[in-house]
Amino acid sequence: MKGNLVDARGRSCPEPVLLTKKAIEASPDGVKVLVDNATAKENIKRFAKNSGYNVEVVENDEGILLTLSR
């Protein structure tokens, strides 16, 4: 996946979802989104699935990385 990385850490909803929406409009094949809270993770997962994307979630020291792909 080419995709780009959206760093939405430190941002409160709905901003991470809006940043994700803008990123997938620019890169419809998929993007990676980095967040730092469970609410943003769940909201982005819901948005991505409703938009037809598969979502892979990996949590590490840097935050929660969501990989959206077709």
13 is annotated as an active-site residue: yes
| Residue 59, CA distances (Å) to 3, 7, 23, 33, 38 in order | 19, 14, 21, 12, 10
Give me the half-sphere count of Cα atoms (radius 13 Å) on the Cβ side of residue 14: 5
* Catalytic one of 13, 34, 55, 65: 13
Token pair for residue 45?
């997962």
Catalytic center residues? 13
